[in-house]
């Protein structure tokens, strides 16, 4: 089953723009040949349009206004309203993006399967790619072995589990003032602990051969290597 890679997006300066460029290039070169996804969809928190155009993406607003025509496998769904953080655990733009997925039914952005891969997440081994590619049912969150939680930055969300988002207690606007950990509140059918991965770069730990994915790669100096 093919699917779409989807993630929240907010580009606010040149450094954040470069982070997305680095991640997109990595996905194009190393992940797409193995995963075979149809497209990348950036759910954008009203970023400056000049940065989005520089990505060479096709950009539409939530009102379906076309702001830029670019690649046919890289799309930006740009929200009209910007939501900033109001506290340490406040991520309203993240929650809005998660609960957008069922609303794409019947639209161009509809997909039978979404791979939620944040822009600071790098999959570094093909075995993990093959694993998630074959998971075609359920709402799967991958175990972060550093923090021992089911991740919010790396998930596979299949069509048969979209109802978990529409039924969830904060699906209909309650997300706006949410101020707790997504890792403890997101729905799930499985927390998958098959492969080692986690937010190891937060503690300065470099990638090693035991890791199949790494999260929180925010420094341009952090070296990521895809191991064929």
pLDDT digits (tens, 9 = 90+) for 124-168: 999 999 999 999 999 999 999 999 999 999 999 999 999 998 876
Residue 48 reports pLDDT greater than 90: yes
| Nearest by Cα to 98 from 139, 47, 67 | 139
pTM above threshold 0.85? yes
- For 162-196, give one letter per residue: b (16+ CB within 10 A) or e: bebbeebebbeeebeebeeebbeebbeebebeebb
Q: In this structure, how many other beta carbons lie within 10 angstroms of the beta carbon of residue 213?
A: 24
Residue 173: pLDDT over 80: no
Domains, the chain, with CATH or none: 4-214 (3.90.550)
**What pLDDT score was predicted for residue 142?**
98
Does the structure show a pLDDT above 70 at 222?
yes
Confidence of residue 169 (pLDDT cuts 50, 70, 90): low
Q: Distances from the Cα of 206 to the Cαs of 13, 176, 203, 209, in angstroms?
A: 26, 35, 9, 10
Residue 94: pLDDT above 70? yes
């Amino acid at each position: 089953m093919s699917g779409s890679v989807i993630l929240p997006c907010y580009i606010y300066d040149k450094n954040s723009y470069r982070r997305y460029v680095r991640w997109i290039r990595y996905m194009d070169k190393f992940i797409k040949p193995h995963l075979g996804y149809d497209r990348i969809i950036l759910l954008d928190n009203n970023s400056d349009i000049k940065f989005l155009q520089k990505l060479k993406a096709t950009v539409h607003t939530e009102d379906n206004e076309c702001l830029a025509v670019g690649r046919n496998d890289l799309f930006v769904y740009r929200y009209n309203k910007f939501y900033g953080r109001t506290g340490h655990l406040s991520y309203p733009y993240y929650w809005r993006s998660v609960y957008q997925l069922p609303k794409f039914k019947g639209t161009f952005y509809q997909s039978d399967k979404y791979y939620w891969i944040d822009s600071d997440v790098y999959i570094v081994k093909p075995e993990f790619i093959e694993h998630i590619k074959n998971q075609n049912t359920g709402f799967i969150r991958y175990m972060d072995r550093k923090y021992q939680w089911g991740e919010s930055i790396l998930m596979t969300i299949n069509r048969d589990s979209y109802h978990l988002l529409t039924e969830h207690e904060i699906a209909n606007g309650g997300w706006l003032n949410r101020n707790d950990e997504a890792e403890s509140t997101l729905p799930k059918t499985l927390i998958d602990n098959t492969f080692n991965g986690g937010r190891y770069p937060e503690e300065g730990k470099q990638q090693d051969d035991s890791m199949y994915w790494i999260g929180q790669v925010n420094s341009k100096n952090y070296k990521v290597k895809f191991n064929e």
